[in-house]
Amino acid sequence: MAWQVVIAGGGFGGFYAARALERMLPAQSAHVTLVNSANFLLYTPLLPGAAGATLDPRHVVVPLRAELRRTDVVIGSVSGADPSRAVLGVDRIDGDRVELAYDQLIIALGSVSRTLPVPGLAEHGVGLKSLSDATALRNQVLTCFDIAESLEDPAERAEYLGFVFVGAGYAGVEGLAELQDFAVQAIELYPRCRAQGMRWVLVDAAERIMGEVPPSLSRFAEHELCGRGIEVRTSTTLAEAGARSARLSDGETIAARTLVWTAGVKPSPVVARLGLPLDEGGRVVVDSTMAVIGAPGPGREWAIGDCAAVPDSARPGLACPPTAQHAIRQGRLVARNVVASLAGRSGRPFRYRTKGVVAELGRNKAVAITLGIRWRGLPAWLIARTYHLLLMPGVGRRLRLLVDWNVALVFGRDASSPGRLGSTTPLGHEDQRNGSLAATHAAPPAV
Ligand SMILES: Cc1cc2nc3c(=O)[nH]c(=O)nc-3n(C[C@H](O)[C@H](O)[C@H](O)COP(=O)(O)OP(=O)(O)OC[C@H]3O[C@@H](n4cnc5c(N)ncnc54)[C@H](O)[C@@H]3O)c2cc1C
The answer to whether residues 109 and 128 belong to one domain is no
Segment (H or E) for 439:
helix 437-440
For residue 425, which phi and psi values (nearest 5 degrees)? -100, 125
CA distance 111 to 266: 5
* Range with lowest mean pLDDT among 87-96, 394-403, 414-423: 414-423
Segment (H or E) for 366:
strand 366-370
Residue 447: inside a domain, yes or no?
no
Give the nearest ligand 1 atom to 15 CA.
Answer: 25
Q: In this predicted model, which residue has the larger pLDDT, 26 or 382?
A: 382
The answer to whether residues 310 and 389 belong to one domain is no
CATH of the domain at 392: 3.50.50.100
Please indicate whether residue 137, judged by its CB atom, sits closer than 6 Å to ligand 1: no
The answer to whether residues 8 and 37 belong to one domain is yes
Report in angstroms the alpha-carbon separations of 58 from 32, 64, 398: 26, 13, 12
Residues 188-215 have a mean pLDDT of: 94
Residue 103 — pLDDT band, cuts 50, 70, 90? Answer: very high
**pLDDT of res. 249:** 97
The answer to whether residues 129 and 232 belong to one domain is yes
**pLDDT of res. 357:** 86
Residue 425: inside a domain, yes or no?
no
Give the nearest ligand 1 atom to 359 CA.
Answer: 8
* Residues 299 and 82 sit within 8 Å (Cβ to Cβ): no
Residue 170: domain span: 121-263+356-411
Query: pLDDT tens digit string along 403-423?
Result: 999 999 888 888 877 666 666
Q: In this predicted model, which residue has the larger pLDDT, 356 or 234?
A: 234
How close is the Cα of 8 to the center of ligand 1, in Å? 13
Q: Which of 36, 330, 385 has most ligand 1 atoms within 8 Å of CB, for mutation?
A: 36
The answer to whether residues 324 and 308 belong to one domain is yes
Task: List the one residue out of 268, 325, 270, 263 whose CA is nearest residue 111.
Answer: 268
The answer to whether residues 51 and 107 belong to one domain is yes
Please indicate whether residue 77, judged by its CB atom, sits closer than 6 Å to ligand 1: yes
Please indicate whether residue 107, judged by its CB atom, sits closer than 6 Å to ligand 1: no
Residue 435: inside a domain, yes or no?
no
Which residue, of 342, 366, 401, is where some domain finishes? 342
How close is the Cα of 42 to the center of ligand 1, in Å? 7
Query: pLDDT tens digit string along 135-168?
Result: 999 999 999 999 999 999 999 999 999 999 999 9
The answer to whether residues 385 and 396 belong to one domain is yes
The answer to whether residues 153 and 219 belong to one domain is yes
Residue 447 — pLDDT band, cuts 50, 70, 90? Answer: very low
Three-state DSSP at 426 gives coil
- Residue 349 DSSP one-character state: P
Please indicate whether residue 283, judged by its CB atom, sits closer than 6 Å to ligand 1: no
Question: CA torsion angle for 123, 126, 127, 128 (degrees, to 10)?
Answer: 170
CA distance 296 to 275: 10
Which residue, of 342, 374, 397, is where some domain finishes? 342
Please indicate whether residue 268, judged by its CB atom, sits closer than 6 Å to ligand 1: yes
Phi-psi region of 376 (alpha: psi -120 to 50; beta: other; left: phi over 0): beta
Please, is 280 exposed, middle or buried when counting C-beta atoms within 10 Å of its C-beta (0-12, 13-18, 19+)?
exposed
**pLDDT of res. 353:** 86
Please indicate whether residue 329, judged by its CB atom, sits closer than 6 Å to ligand 1: no
**pLDDT of res. 243:** 96
pLDDT beyond 80 at 431: no
End-to-end CA distance of the chain: 54
Residues 167-180 have a mean pLDDT of: 94
The answer to whether residues 130 and 103 belong to one domain is no
Residue 439 — pLDDT band, cuts 50, 70, 90? Answer: very low
The answer to whether residues 241 and 283 belong to one domain is no
Residue 227: inside a domain, yes or no?
yes
Residue 424 — pLDDT band, cuts 50, 70, 90? Answer: confident
The answer to whether residues 20 and 163 belong to one domain is no
Task: List the one residue out of 257, 263, 262 whose CA is nearest residue 447.
Answer: 257
CA distance 54 to 57: 9
How close is the Cα of 111 to the center of ligand 1, in Å? 6
How close is the Cα of 308 to the center of ligand 1, in Å? 12
The answer to whether residues 33 and 133 belong to one domain is no
**Neighbouring C-beta atoms of residue 145, cutoff 10 Å:** 24
Please indicate whether residue 270, judged by its CB atom, sits closer than 6 Å to ligand 1: yes
Residue 306: inside a domain, yes or no?
yes
Which residue, of 342, 376, 391, is where some domain finishes? 342
Residues 226-250 have a mean pLDDT of: 96
Residue 360: inside a domain, yes or no?
yes
CATH of the domain at 95: 3.50.50.60
The tally of domains found in the chain comes to: 2
* Residues 171 and 131 sit within 8 Å (Cβ to Cβ): no
Residue 109: inside a domain, yes or no?
yes
**pLDDT of res. 429:** 65
The protein residue whose alpha carbon is closest to atom 37 in ligand 1 is 109
Residue 58: inside a domain, yes or no?
yes
Q: Tell me the three-class secondary structure of the chain, residue by residue.
A: CCEEEEEECCCHHHHHHHHHHHHHCCCCCEEEEEEECCCEEECHHHHHHHHCCCCCHHHHEEEHHHHCCCCEEEEEEEEEEECCCCEEEEEECCCCEEEEECCEEEECCCEEECCCCCCCHHHHEECCCCHHHHHHHHHHHHHHHHHHHHCCCHHHHHHHCEEEEECCCHHHHHHHHHHHHHHHHHHHHCHHHHHHCCEEEEECCCCCCCCCCCHHHHHHHHHHHHHCCCEEECCCCEEEECCCEEEECCCCEEECCEEEECCCEEECHHHHHCCCCECCCCCEEECCCCEECCCCCCCEEEECHHHEECECCCCCCCECCCCHHHHHHHHHHHHHHHHHHHCCCCCCCCCCCCCEEEEECCCCCEEEEECCEEEEEHHHHHHHHHHHHHHCCCHHHHHHHHHHHHHHHHHCCCCCCCCCCCCCCCCCCHHHCCCCHHHHCCCCCCC
